[in-house]
Every structure is written in structure tokens, then in C-alpha cells.
Structure 1
Amino acid sequence: MNLHAVKAIYLFEMSRTFRTLLQSIVSPVISTSLYFVVFGAAIGSRITEIEGISYGAFLVPGLIMLMLLTQSVANASFGIYFPRFTGTIYEILSAPISYVEIVIGYVGAAATKSIILGLIILATAGLFVPLQIARPGWMLAFLVLTAVTFSLFGFIIGIWADGFEKLQVIPLLIITPLTFLGGSFYPVSVLPPFWQTVAMFNPVVYLISGFRWSFFGITDVHIGISLGATALMLALCIIAVGWIFKTGYRLKT
């Protein structure tokens, strides 16, 4: 393992975050805080509790997951796309480092940014609603696992995209809608039976359900299924990244 190469890629990507602090950190935190204000005031006054939990507190895991998914994909996709766009990716590919080290550097940096944002938003949420975490260890585990999984997914998008507009297609048209329909703002159990069945085909449901369980001990699906679904998504992303580097898909041309 070439740790110097991993460290160089990781630190370069992290430095980009601090150069664009307003866009990378401040903007997502403000946007998420507005959700607390708008939904907490507009809907929270009508929905006082969900399964014994105040609606404002119920929102917290869903909003953190919403931010985590979108930021992980965005950070990782742009991180690998920009070297392809400028042509510096060929210098990295010709260097004496393996694709595993390249992926660890880029994906590790993207996941770190998302985890930091998630923790900041969690702290910010405490200013709006009283919040207790029943299982902090599991909460961190879901946070890290989700950030790594979707950073890998974003890495795949960054290699697939052949233009800046394509970087936005999947996050805007797929990831964000699936997150909104995945129980971010409501429990799946309140849906009619048909739509509950449809929701079970949404992979984001399992992520949000497991994450919310770590906070309150309530879940839309069994925690074992949530963990299994998350692990399956991670495995599929690892397989896809391995195939990309093995075949040179959109890297050697």
C-alpha cells in the first residue's frame, strides 16, 4: 500500500473543501437548517408526534441522510471528473500506484467531507429540537457506511459523465427524488398499503430506516434488512469500480 500516494490525493481533495468553505460547508448547513425552520413550523404545528417522537426530532435523521447522500455523490463525482476534464488523470494513472489507492484517496476525502457535514448538521439540529441518540455507535456506523457507499457511487458517476451537465443528472433526477420518497419526512407506515409495497423497492428507505433506528429505536424495516441492503449497495459499488479500472472504461480514452 502506497500510503504517500493515498495521503497526497486525500489531502489535495480535502484542501479543495477549505478553499471553497462557503460552498462546501456553509451552504449545505444553511439549506438543511431551513428545512427545520420551514417543516418544523409549517408541519410540526399540525403533526405533534410520530410514534411518541416530536416531529421536529423525527426529521433529523432524514435530513442528515438527505444531505449525506447528495453531498457524498457530488463531492466524489466532481473530485474524479475534474482530473479527467483537465487531463491530469493520466499522470495519476501512470504513477506507481494501484487503482485501490486511487479510490481510497478520492472516496476517502469525499466521505470525510460528508461525515463532517453530517456531524455539523447533527449539532445544528440540537439548536432547534431536543435530541437524544439511543445508539450513538450504530449512528456513526450508518453515517460512515452510507457516506462511503455513496461516495463510491459518486466516483462511478464522475467516471461515467462526459460533461458537467451529466454530473447533475443522476443526483437531481434520481438520488434526490428517491431520498424525498424514502421516508425523510414521514414514516413509510403512514402510506397506503400499495405505496408501502412500492417504497420497499426504494433502496434509500433502508438507509433512512436504519439511521433513524439508531436515534429512536423505531424502524420501517427490520434493522438486519437495513444493514444487509446497505452492505449490498456497497458491494455493488466496489464491484463496479473494480470493473472500471480493470477495463479502463472512460479512463484510457
Structure 2
Amino acid sequence: MNFYAIRAIYLFELARTWRTLMQSIATPVISTSLYFVVFGSAIGSSMVQIHGIDYAAFIVPGLVMLALLTESISNAAFGIYMPKYSGTIYEVLSAPISSFEIVVGYVGAAATKSVILGLIIMLTARLFVTFEIEHPLWMLLFLVLTAVTFSLFGFIVGIWADGWEKLQIVPALIVTPLTFLGGSFYSISMLPPVWQKITLFNPVVYLISAFRWCFYGVSDVNVAVSLGMTLLFLGGCLAIVFWMFKTGYRLKS
């Protein structure tokens, strides 16, 4: 294992966070704060409790997940796309470092940034609403697991994209809508029976449900099922990344 190479890629990607502090940290935190003001304070004051939880507190896990998924994909996608765009990816591929070590460096940095952002957003949420975390260790586990999984997904998007506009297609047109429809602002038990079943085809439902369980001990989907679905998606992303490096898909051409 070439730890020196992994460390070099990892630290280089982390350093980009501080060079783009406004975009990487401040923008998502400010955006999430606006959600708390609008949905938590303004709308939440007239909403009934959901599963015995105040509405403003109920939406905290969903908003954290919304930022986590979006930033994980964006950070990882940009991290690998930029070397492709500049041509420096060929130097990385020709260096004495395996594809596994390359993925660990890029995905590890993207996931680290996303986890830090998620923790900052949770601290910010405390300024607007009081909430408790019943299962803090499980919360950290799901936070890290989700960040790694969607950073891998973003890594795939970055390799697939052959233009700057494609980097935004998946987060903007697919992930964000799925997050909004995945129970970020409501419990899927509030939906008609038919729509409850349809919603279960949305993978984000399992992430938000498990994360909300970590906070309040309530969930729309069994936690074990949510964990299994997350691990399944993680395994699928790993398989696709392995195939991309093995075939050189949009990496060597």
C-alpha cells in the first residue's frame, strides 16, 4: 500500500477546500440555514408534531442528508474531473500507485469534507432548534457511510462527465429531487398507501429514515433494511469504479 501517494492526493484535495472556503462550506451552510428559517420557524410553527417530534426538529436529519449527498457528489466529481480536464490524470495513472489507492485518496478527501460539513450543519441547526441525538455512534456511522458511498458515486459521475455542465446534471436533476421526495420534510407514513409503496423505490428514503432514527429513535423503514440498502449501493459503486479503471473508461482516452 503506497500510503505516501494516498496522503499526497488526500491532502491536495483537502487543501482545495480552504482555497474555496465560501463555495465548499459557507454556501451549503447558509442555504441550509435558510431552510431552517423558512420551513422550521415560519412553516414549522403552524405544523403539528410528527411522531411526537416538533416539525423544526423533525427536518434536521433530512436537511443534513440533503447537504451531505449533494456535497459528497459534487466534491468527488470535481476532484477527479479536474485532472481529466487539465490532462494531469495521465501523470496519476502512470505513477507507481494502484487504482485502489487513487480511489482511496480522492474519495477519502471528498468524504472527509462532507462529514465535516454535515457536523457543521448540525451545529448550525442548534442555533434554530433544540434536538437530541439518541444514538450518536450510529449517527456517526451512517454519516461516514453515506459520505463515502455518495463520494464514490460522485467519483463515477466525474469520470463519466465529458463536460462541465454534466457535473451538475446528476446532483441537480436527480439527487436533489430524490432527497426532497425521500422524506426530508415529511414522514412517508403521511402519504397514501399507494405512494408509500412507490416511495420505497427511492433509495434516499432509506438513508434519511436511518439517519432520523439515529436522532429520535423513529424511522419509516426498518434500520437494518436501510443499512443493507446503503451497503448494497456502496458495493455497486465499488464495482462500477473497478470496471472503469479496468477498462480505462473515459480515463485513458
Shift of 1:43: 1.9
Equivalent runs, 1:93-104 vs 2, <5 Å:
93-104=93-104
Q: Deviations over 1:6-47 (max 9, x none)?
A: 000000000000001111111110100000000012321221
Equivalent runs, 1:232-251 vs 2, <5 Å:
232-251=232-251
Equivalent position of 1:200 in the other structure:
200
Q: Distance in 2 between matches of 1:93 and 1:234?
A: 24
Partner secondary structure for residue 124 of structure 1: helix
The yes-or-no answer on 1:154 pairing with 2:150 is no
TM-score, normalization by structure 1 = 0.99
Could you list the runs of 4 or more consecutive aligned residues of structure 1 that deviate by over 2 angstroms after TM superposition? none
Equivalent runs, 1:112-191 vs 2, <5 Å:
112-191=112-191
Partner secondary structure for residue 185 of structure 2: coil
Letter in 2 for 1:110: A
Q: Distance in 2 between matches of 1:22 and 1:171?
A: 19
Equivalent position of 2:70 in the other structure:
70
Partner secondary structure for residue 46 of structure 2: coil
Q: Distance in 2 between matches of 1:56 and 1:199?
A: 23
Q: What stretches of structure 2 of length at least 5 have no aligned partner? A: none
Q: Distance in 2 between matches of 1:22 and 1:74?
A: 15
Count of aligned positions: 253
TM-score, normalization by structure 2 = 0.99
Letter in 2 for 1:111: A
Letter in 1 for 2:93: L
Identical positions, percent? 69
Partner secondary structure for residue 129 of structure 1: coil
Q: Deviations over 1:61-92 (max 9, x none)?
A: 00000000000000000000000000000000
Equivalent position of 2:218 in the other structure:
218
Partner secondary structure for residue 50 of structure 1: coil
Q: Distance in 1 between matches of 2:9 and 2:217?
A: 39
Q: Distance in 1 between matches of 2:43 and 2:227?
A: 30
Q: Distance in 1 between matches of 2:202 and 2:242?
A: 25
Q: Distance in 1 between matches of 2:144 and 2:122?
A: 14
Letter in 2 for 1:241: V
Partner secondary structure for residue 23 of structure 1: helix
Q: Deviations over 1:99-156 (max 9, x none)?
A: 0000000000000000000000001111111111000000000000000000000000
Partner secondary structure for residue 29 of structure 2: helix
The yes-or-no answer on 1:229 pairing with 2:229 is yes
Q: Distance in 2 between matches of 1:190 and 1:48?
A: 12
Letter in 1 for 2:184: S
Equivalent position of 1:6 in the other structure:
6
Partner secondary structure for residue 165 of structure 2: helix
Q: Distance in 2 between matches of 1:58 and 1:167?
A: 31
Equivalent position of 2:28 in the other structure:
28
Q: What stretches of structure 1 of length at least 5 have no aligned partner? A: none
Letter in 2 for 1:139: M
Partner secondary structure for residue 226 of structure 2: helix
- RMSD across aligned positions (CA): 0.6
